[in-house]
Amino acid sequence: MSNLSVKIGKLSFKNPITVASGTFAHAEKYYALEEVKRLGSIIPKTVTLYAQEGNPPPRIVETPSGMLNAIGIENPGVDVFIKEKLPKLKKIGVPLIVSILGHGDDQFLKIIDQINPYVHTGSNTKDVCALELNLSCPNLRHKTLVAQDAKAISRLIRKVKKRSKVPIFAKLTPNVTDIRPMVRAAEDAGADGVSLINTLTAMVIDVEKRTSALGNFTGGLSGPAIRPVAVHMVHQAYKTVKIPIIASGGVMTAQDALQFIIAGASLVAVGTANFINPRAPLDVLDGIEVYMKRHKIKTIKELHGSLKQG
């Protein structure tokens, strides 16, 4: 049988398949699904310091080969997450990479202070083993996202690294001219890894009403339409930095996930596909196993970053 295990620093994952934050909620619908324990890890819905109601409806609109969403990081806040959501997530028995978002550096640090008592710093954990910083939040010093400003990325990560007890992954936006300075800034500041990519900013117009189809005017494009962009950015990042990459962006099948692994990703997150098929991450995992058996590949390491030039 092929070995799909992945090691990132001191962290060990039984396979590279995880779920993208915001597409699996807090796994409430999956507690009874025994097979969910087969996942390499879970990234729950992003948590903020205080509860957020989210954006006004409509929040979702279908697009060709994709979906536009403007949920607005609706969540109950870190207190409720710790008291009500986290205990149930732990019972699933797979490593948890908790996604957090702060409106300003101080909020990130406050969230981390509250989560720190519940993390696990060992190698084979079935607990909170890492944090994913959702940097698609406003940079309060400028009218940009933190993820669009290399200096802001560096400043925040340096602060967070001094406070967090577990590894940090910086989730970056594709809405930049060049992703390479952003991943380099994350690595230089001490990030343990990066997550690529978040959604692409986009818009759909209702031509009859001449208004946006979304209540928030613009939204984030996800699904198969963005996959080639994501694969390219993951490969750019892989060639630029040495830290591990969690890839996401339009993964629907095992072939899609394999593209990311060959491009250089250590872990692959299934996102929008979860809305169509709740078993999508497991189907992707099964497909990777079939591919490796067919090609007589013994370990997932043989595929990692194996893209041939020319």
Q: Give the DSSP H/E element, type plus range, for residue 99.
A: strand 96-100
Token couple for 156 = 């925040």
Catalytic residue selected from 68, 137, 183, 252: 137
Is residue 197 reached through a cis peptide bond, with omega within 30 degrees of 0 on the bond before it?
yes
Q: Which of 167, 141, 165, 166 is nearest to 155 (CA)?
A: 141
Helix (H, G, I), strand (E, B) or coil at 82: helix
Smallest CA-to-CA distance from 56 within 271, 220, 214 is with 214
Question: Alpha-carbon distance 266 to 303, whole Å?
Answer: 10
33: CB partners within 8 A, 6+ apart: 278
Q: Which residue has the tokens 């940079």?
A: 139
129 labelled catalytic: no
Q: Are 41 and 66 in contact (CB under 8 A)?
A: no
Q: Are 191 and 168 in contact (CB under 8 A)?
A: yes
DSSP letters along 161-175, please? Answer: HHH-SS-EEEE--S-
d(CA 4, CA 164): 28
Site of tokens 């609706």: 74
**Which residues are part of the catalytic machinery?**
137
